[in-house]
Structure 1
């Protein structure tokens, strides 16, 4: 049985369908028993979906917004 740490290490490959059968079964078995890791995988899937929706080209306004937010975070 995988540990939570091992599941996190395999999570991207799992979501990308790049695990071998034995690894995939181990991940699914762990997810069946661990609600924390199920939540982690759901959040990772959501993050991937959001990233796919972002435009391919850079938008200067988004870069400026990200910089302002980073500055505000550093000031806290």
Structure 2
């Protein structure tokens, strides 16, 4: 799984806290990107934070990302 966060995004802090708690349970690569970077190819406007699952699907909701990392 790959987690994309931005320093200016308000949802990044709880997502990073959940990632820290889940450390060791799942392989997670954290990437810090700028607000202009296109992370998801089918979105014209960037939305961060976003979790890219191993299946290729994306999660955009902060609470959904936190729940997914705590499994």
Shared fold (TM-score, shorter chain, > 0.5): no
Is the helix fraction higher in 1 or 2? 1
TM-score between both structures, scaled by the size of structure 2: 0.28
Q: Please say which structure displays the higher CA radius of gyration.
A: 1
- The higher relative CO (CA closer than 8 Å, separation ≥ 6) is in 2
Is the strand fraction higher in 1 or 2? 2
